[in-house]
């Protein structure tokens, strides 16, 4: 099933105020019992558009799949984004997940045949369930996905490249998603102990 990428532009006057509030939330330490901004809300605020119904379903399905597996072990790690400077001034970024950011970037240098100065780590954000966080970011950015990128060493398609013009919005989106996933993971753990 393919999704049409027709997100609805956000026309609400509250968008600037919501952006200010989201940035303030992300700059403060998280509060354990207070749910942070949900990924769909964060995307809407940061990119100024409401994700289409297909993307909304993908995000909800990712959370539901984790909720259905009560004994699923979450893996702590980082969601990261880097640019290949050989792409020029384009807005192409690689978004992935790992336990060790520097080691993973080194592995990507080898896979892409890049020199040390050709891959630039833009940012990374830690979370309690790195696979879920990465999946959510990829789902939210589905319409920006670049399907024609391939690995230099094997020719295999790369599924984690996206065309994102606003890197500040991307940085804040990744921070918001990782924060929500950490809260969600901790809340699930607390609920499982209470039941």
**For 104-127, what is each residue's pLDDT tens digit?**
999 988 888 888 889 999 999 999
Q: Using alpha carbons, select from 31, 51, 32, 54 the residue that is nearest to residue 42.
A: 51
- Predicted pLDDT of residue 13: 67
Q: Using alpha carbons, select from 86, 85, 151 the residue that is nearest to residue 121.
A: 85
How far is the C-alpha of 56 from the C-alpha of 43, rounded, in Å?
Answer: 11
If you average pLDDT over residues 135-164, what whole number do you get?
85
- pTM for this structure? 0.89
- Predicted pLDDT of residue 12: 60
The answer on pLDDT for 194 being more than 80 is no
| Mean pLDDT comparison of 9-23, 71-85, 173-187, highest-scoring range | 173-187
- Predicted pLDDT of residue 6: 77
- What are the angstrom distances between the C-alpha of 101 and each of 7, 80, 90? 32, 7, 23
92 pairs with which residues across the strands?
163
**pLDDT tens digits, one per residue of 67-110:** 887 666 789 999 999 998 888 777 899 999 999 999 999 998 88
119 pairs with which residues across the strands?
84
For 186: left if phi > 0, alpha if psi spans -120 to 50, otherwise beta; the answer is: alpha
How far is the C-alpha of 192 from the C-alpha of 195, rounded, in Å?
Answer: 5
* Residue pair 141/39 in contact by the 8 Å Cβ criterion: no
**Dihedral of CA 110/128/42/66: which sign?**
positive
* Residue pair 141/75 in contact by the 8 Å Cβ criterion: no
């Amino acid at each position: 099933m393919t999704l049409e990428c027709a997100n609805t532009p956000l026309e609400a006057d509250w968008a600037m105020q919501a952006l200010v509030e989201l940035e303030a939330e992300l700059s403060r330490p998280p509060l354990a019992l207070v749910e942070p901004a949900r990924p769909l809300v964060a995307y809407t605020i940061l990119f100024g558009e409401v994700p289409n119904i297909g993307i909304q379903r993908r995000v909800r399905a990712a959370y539901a799949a984790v909720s259905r597996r009560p004994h699923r072990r979450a893996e702590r790690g980082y969601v990261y984004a880097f640019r290949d400077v050989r792409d020029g001034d384009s807005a192409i970024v690689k978004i992935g997940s790992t336990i060790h950011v520097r080691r993973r970037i080194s592995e990507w240098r080898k896979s892409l045949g890049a020199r040390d100065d050709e891959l630039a780590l833009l940012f990374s954000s830690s979370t309690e369930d790195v696979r879920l966080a990465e999946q959510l970011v990829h789902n939210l950015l589905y319409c920006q996905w670049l399907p024609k990128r391939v690995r230099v060493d094997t020719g295999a398609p790369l599924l984690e490249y996206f065309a994102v013009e606003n890197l500040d919005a991307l940085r804040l989106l990744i921070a918001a998603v990782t924060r929500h996933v950490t809260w969600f993971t901790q809340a699930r753990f607390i609920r499982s102990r209470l039941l």
